[in-house]
Amino acid sequence: MPSLWAETLAVFSKEMRSEWRSRQGFLAGGLFSVVAVVAMAFAGINGRPTPTLQAGMFTVVLLFAACITLPRVFLVEDEQRTIDLLRLLARPEAAFLGKFGACKLQILVTAAILASFYILLSGASVASPIMLIAALALESVTLAATLSIVGVLVSGARNRWVLAAAVGLPLLLPQATLSIGALRFAFGEGSQTSALQNLGGLGLFAIAMISFGPVLANAMWRLERG
């Protein structure tokens, strides 16, 4: 039997090939990011937003971009009726980790596009580039892990897209608050100590979601079979 990591890599490769063929996730996330960034840049023409407001807008845009693109990675099997093929390809733990890897790559690319375009168009000053990169990277990983869990929970449900929003809300709000706390320092407001605490909170949140995801996927698959 192939190892867990070999199965994880197989699922990840399958998802990336599927996304590259359809490009729905990349196009939706990229287009949304560009439109949102242009709107954010125009909003600051007459007066540059405060660092806290910039951090809030950044986090909200990244959150909505993730919600548009990521859950479908887990729900596509339901829509295409190919869940049995996925079960033959990998164990539930490997399926979760492989799909999480695909989600993580997509949102990291989206976050890089968002940050680059916003700084270029708005001329926003970045007080701490390292904190900006770290906060966006950790928030992206946390979003990918959280929405992967949401995808597992609503898989097979009749109104899965509506249910995904309801399930995801209590999980997304805390990490959005932590992200804003870290990003506001990157844009020049708040203390470094507070920013590091928020960054650490994001890291712990991500670890918890990534650790819990494979266990939940295994339990959900057993429940469906039962």
Supply the DSSP symbol for 187. Answer: T
Domain boundaries in the chain?
Answer: 4-225
What angle separates helix 92-122 from helix 71-80, to the nearest 10 degrees?
Answer: 130
Query: Which burial class, exposed, middle or buried, applies to 95 when counting CB atoms under 10 A from its CB (0-12, 13-18, 19+)?
Result: buried
213 with 100: CB under 8 angstroms? yes
**Could you give the CA distance from residue 116 to residue 110 in angstroms, rounded to a whole number?**
10
How many other C-beta atoms can be found within 10 angstroms of the C-beta atom of residue 155? 20
The tens place of each residue's pLDDT in the chain, 226 residues long, gives 468 778 888 878 877 777 666 666 666 666 777 787 777 777 666 667 788 888 888 888 888 888 877 666 766 666 666 666 767 777 888 888 988 988 888 889 888 888 888 888 777 788 999 999 999 999 999 999 998 888 888 776 677 666 777 778 888 889 999 999 999 999 988 899 999 999 999 999 999 999 998 998 888 777 765 5
